[in-house]
Amino acid sequence: MLLGLFLICLTYIECNHDSKNTAINPKMEMESQDTFYCPMHPEIVQNHPGKCPKPECEGMDLVKKFRPDLLHALLKPVNSNVVSSINTIHANFKSIDQIIDAQGFIDYDDRTKHAIASRLNGRIDNLYIRYNYQPIVKGEKILDIYSPALITAQENLVYLINNDPENRSLINAAKQKLVLLGFNDIQIQNIISNKIVLNVVPIYSKWSGHIHETMTKGETNGNESSINDKLKKSKELGVKEGMYVEAGQTLFNVVDPHDVAIYLQIKIKDITKIKLNQDVEFWVNEIPIMSMHGKVNFISPIVNAGSKSVKIRIDINNKEHAHKVGALVNAKINVGVTEGMWVPKKSIINLGKQKIVWLKTDGYFRAQPIETGESDNNWTEIKNGLEPENEIAEDAAFLTDSEGFIKITEDE
């Protein structure tokens, strides 16, 4: 009897002792280590595997509890933090040649364009130009024009020669009027020698090149570009024999095809990097094997309204007629070397007003705002927001939800 009471007391003391050693204050912080607990008795918590001491659990194993810091990482908002095993990289310090890509086209050099205009009212009697782009040389006859004003000026000179040959001032004034109306010295001398008035007067070209027809009188109120396109496509000239023209009306343009120009469009943000006489490598009609070089000869001083680019010109020799006007041109301009911290373009996400990378921190990725500088085909310079030791996602688009919004700060 006494022995039984002794055993019962001993068992009670041992159980009470084990309970004190096993039960742990639920307020105890274990964020720095793994913990184990009983799902049926949350107050039973310990820092090593074991069994629940409660009789009703019948020795059930304790369950491992997630560490609070890991749980905090998992509960981060998915629109600002991502858990992933994607490859990561570090920013590279290096020097990269800055290349500006530009597109443009070949056109005639504006400095070789000359206008042939009528100096007086009259009628075209004979036209010697038959088609657009017809080649002519300096001194070649273009047309014969009939004008009452020309006949009157010739008659005045012949009258003075016949009736007042000593009046040199009036004769010189009559000769000067003919010069202003387009007569050359040979024509005037023939009038004085033969005393014959010409009913029609030939007009000669002062330049060599080929003919470009311009808009005719009465069409100037229409759309200029559409009219020019129509004239270029037309095989028949708009200027015809028998047509009346007015003083100052431009009939043709003469363009020298031996000198053409490449006009390139440069983005406004890049125009300050372009200098005169800078080397330009270009390809005509996207044929890489036809790589050629030129120099920047002109930079436009203005930006057209609504445009996001500035025009530059590269003069090229076309004596062999190898370059066709209107051909498309791709060009590359080396504007120098930039040293700095660079990351691949695919590591950056452009949100419009802000650019970000996915920065790896404590096993997850978070959106990190950055400031960028120069850029080339594959790399972008990082001005601010990253340190060399930072680890970022190699492919930022892989971690970005195309239908979501990336949060950069907690108060967004």
DSSP 134-159: -EE-TT-EEEEEE-HHHHHHHHHHHH
Find the range with the poorest average confidence among 91-95, 107-111, 213-217, 250-254.
213-217
Residues 6+ apart with CB under 8 A from 232: 132
Judged against a pLDDT cut of 80, whether residue 337 lies above it is answered with yes
CATH architecture for segment(s) 110-255: Beta Barrel (2.40)
How distant is the alpha carbon of residue 25 from its chain centre?
67
What kind and span of H or E run contains 262? strand 259-267
The answer on pLDDT for 230 being more than 70 is no
What pLDDT does 228 receive? 52
**Of 175-179, 191-195, 219-223, 333-337, where does mean pLDDT reach its minimum?**
219-223
Q: What is the CATH number of domain 81-95+338-399?
A: 2.40.420.20
Residues of the chain with CATH 2.40.50.100: 110-255
pTM > 0.85: no
Q: Is the pLDDT of residue 123 over 60?
A: yes
Q: Are 114 and 206 in contact (CB under 8 A)?
A: yes
Is 2 a residue whose pLDDT tops 70?
Answer: no
C-alpha 207/C-alpha 233 separation (Å) is 25
Residue 178 pLDDT exceeds 50: yes
Residues of the chain with CATH 2.40.420.20: 81-95+338-399
Tell me which of 203 and 28 has the higher pLDDT.
203
Question: What is the pLDDT at residue 261?
Answer: 92
Q: What's the pLDDT tens digit per position in 57-96? A: 878 888 877 565 554 554 455 556 666 667 888 888 888 8
Task: Tell the CATH topology of 102-109+257-337.
Answer: Elongation Factor Tu (Ef-tu); domain 3 (2.40.30)
Considering only residues 55 and 274, tell me which one the structure prediction assigns the higher pLDDT. Answer: 274
